[in-house]
Structure 1
Amino acid sequence: MTSFVSVWVGRPGDPPRRADDADRLHAAASTMKVAVLAALYRAADAGTVDLDAHVPVVNGFASAIGDGTRYQNDRRYDDEDEVWTRLGDAVPARWLARRMIVRSSNLATNVLLQLVGLPAVADAWRCAGAVNSVTARGIEDYAARDAGRDNVVTAADLAALLGALHLGTLAKPESCAEMLDLLAAQEWRQDLALGVPDGVRIAHKNGWMTGVRHSAGLVCPPDAEPYVIAVCTTSRGVPPDDYDERACRHLAELSAEAWRDRVLP
């Protein structure tokens, strides 16, 4: 069994208070959806996307390999059902963004990624100060994956992304505030969120796949300055269900530790 755990904890915009292997690359899983969200709101700020305009909900996308290959999402591998009930309809981009974050919809992600484009997501990463993370393809674009186009993240880059939202530097301040509100409405709360007391605001996004469990969030204590915690875990050789349960517990423990240290400089 081989396991890798990367951790970044600190105040937004400051050097980390804790950084354990924080620049190691991990498969992104659904954490890349925060970068897609940022690209969408940056496009709205620039006037190239209207968040309230209706977007067709389709399940057919051009592969990132650019040779005309197309791919689809498999509903069985999506943790959100509501977007699928709107297939063939048109819905506001803002609604799709919410489903992408609060229920981690894969279908909504690919529809929005098709709307804004991969270069816009790359710009969002770089604007946040991320240096290693890459969103190279849509979810389930297996042709691109097989061609070596992988979605990867680091704990340090996820922390930079959340920190830039808090500082209001990734988009207009009101757009950053709206994105943080979406992240605070996250409904999958089985890892970092368990490490803070009930009622404490945590704007976060997690992601999981076989052998992978990540989560990154901005925690806003009532008695201390906000802080960012980002944890990426990857394991090989552990049964998937057993690993995910262990990883969730470990992320909750790391989150609880960061909470106990929240008043430290």
Structure 2
Amino acid sequence: MTIRLNRRTALGLGTVATAGTVLGAAAPASAAENTEETPTTPARAARRVAAVFDRHSTEAGGNWQAYVSVADPAGPPVVAVAADADRRIEAYSVNKIAVATAVLDKVDRGLLTLDQRVDVTAAIVVPGGDGIFSLDGAYPSSVTLGHVLANLLTVSDDTAVRLCGLVAPAAEINSILVAKGFPNTQVEPVANPNRFFLGTSTPRETHDLLRALVAGTLLSPASTTHLLGLLRSPVAFTDGIRRTMSSDERARVATKAGWFADARHEAGVIFDRSGAAVLTYALFADGQADPDNFGATHPAVQARAAMGPKFLAAVDRIAGTGRTFRAPTRRPSNGG
């Protein structure tokens, strides 16, 4: 169930945040003009991020639940935004990261391989859904599990969710996520054990799952690199946080969006220039105007597009923490 809370009610100083120190979680909208664009300390960067979030979420209206932190080499992350961060809400396609995590966990344990094949039948295709499998127009086809995950996390393919269910049923996905410490990040089972709705999470758990991923405690090094590579690829979501960035800047951001009904969500990680994680965000929004607009001009998507370059600038002089993940060089091809 999605429970809505006005952003003004949800956002406030004194929010309990176990991932780090809360700084500036209730900056007024005007504060965005009074904070440094490129600060040099994590605390000041967090204040800038808080001010930017407050300004653009206010402009977009509706309800916002969010959790954003800035890495601090001297200690735990500094929490910039903690807006109703423990409310369990429908995560929609943001939870495709969690589904991919469960599948890759089985790969890590030797139960699956990325080159094993699944069949894309006419019966399993979600008609009219997001992604490309529904556009094939010819079935059946046989694809690798690696191809399924690539479609799941880049073009947010809905049929890929069902294909994941063939190798990781709903109950197993949920048990894997609970075992990893994410009891609120759960898919919603249906009568068919191999199918499910994408289910729920909280801003804090989505944030913490991403932090665990970049810390190397969620998956094996190979699976971690694979998952992040998909989320950082040029074809991954670009309407929101990454919209007005250069190709090099986009490669510094791993992101996944979710959209359904009136909700527009996005969660991800910004890396410093060396490839270490420096900012982690989970932004959940609903209740804005124009709910039937699933394009780049929806108010919440516009807000995230405005936040993205400012978030990047806010941490551009801050060092990330943990393992470094260098984005592979990708260049357009002219065939041949």
The answer to whether TM tops 0.5 is: yes
Q: Displacement, 1:34?
A: 0.7
**Cross-structure match for 2:174:** 122
**Cross-structure match for 1:204:** 255
User: In structure 2, how many angstroms separate the alpha carbons of the residues matched to 1:115 and 1:86?
Assistant: 23
User: Secondary structure at 1:56's aligned position in 2?
Assistant: strand
What letter matches 2:144 in structure 1? P
Q: Deviations over 1:1-43 (max 9, x none)?
A: 9732012111477363321112223222211111111111110
TM-score (norm 1): 0.80
Higher deviation after alignment, 237-246 or 224-233:
237-246
User: Secondary structure at 2:185's aligned position in 1?
Assistant: coil
Q: Displacement, 1:114?
A: 2.4
- Given the superposition, is the C-alpha separation of residues 176 and 11 from structure 1 closer, same or farther in structure 2, using an over 3 Å criterion? farther
Q: CA RMSD in A?
A: 3.0
What letter matches 1:218 in structure 2? V
CA contact (8 A) 2:257 2:264 kept: yes
Greater Rg by CA? 2
Q: Deviations over 1:214-252 (max 9, x none)?
A: 011111122785221110001177542289611101122
**Cross-structure match for 2:199:** 151
- 1:80-95 maps to which residues of 2 (within 5 A)? 80-81=132-133, 84-85=136-137, 87-95=139-147
TM-score (norm 2): 0.64
**Cross-structure match for 2:284:** 232
- In the alignment, structure 1 residue 21 sits paired with structure 2 residue 84: yes
Structure (1/2) with the larger helix percentage:
1
**Cross-structure match for 1:55:** 118
**Cross-structure match for 1:259:** 312
**Cross-structure match for 2:98:** 35
CA contact (8 A) 2:133 2:159 kept: no
Q: Displacement, 1:84?
A: 3.9
What letter matches 1:48 in structure 2? L
User: In structure 1, how many angstroms separate the alpha carbons of the residues matched to 2:287 and 2:141?
Assistant: 39
Which of 299, 305, 320 aligns to 1:246? It is: 299
Identity among equivalent pairs (%): 21
CA contact (8 A) 1:195 1:254 kept: no
Higher deviation after alignment, 30-39 or 118-127:
118-127
User: Secondary structure at 1:32's aligned position in 2?
Assistant: helix
User: In structure 1, how many angstroms separate the alpha carbons of the residues matched to 2:254 and 2:136?
Assistant: 25
- Structure 1's unaligned 5+ residue stretches are 61-71
User: Secondary structure at 1:194's aligned position in 2?
Assistant: coil
Q: Deviations over 1:65-114 (max 9, x none)?
A: xxxxxxx5542132324774563122111111101111111111111122
CA contact (8 A) 1:9 1:258 kept: no
- Given the superposition, is the C-alpha separation of residues 213 and 169 from structure 1 closer, same or farther in structure 2, using an over 3 Å criterion? same
User: In structure 2, how many angstroms separate the alpha carbons of the residues matched to 1:237 and 1:89?
Assistant: 40
CA contact (8 A) 2:113 2:145 kept: yes
Which of 151, 160, 165 aligns to 1:113? It is: 165
- Given the superposition, is the C-alpha separation of residues 127 and 15 from structure 1 closer, same or farther in structure 2, using an over 3 Å criterion? farther
**Cross-structure match for 1:65:** none
**Cross-structure match for 1:136:** 188
**Cross-structure match for 1:194:** 243
**Cross-structure match for 2:25:** none
**Cross-structure match for 1:220:** 271
User: In structure 2, how many angstroms separate the alpha carbons of the residues matched to 1:39 and 1:220?
Assistant: 24
Higher deviation after alignment, 3-12 or 76-85:
76-85
Q: Displacement, 1:132?
A: 2.1
What letter matches 2:85 in structure 1? A
What letter matches 2:224 in structure 1? C
- Structure 2's unaligned 5+ residue stretches are 7-61, 320-336
Aligned length: 247
**Cross-structure match for 1:9:** 68
User: In structure 1, how many angstroms separate the alpha carbons of the residues matched to 2:127 and 2:309?
Assistant: 34
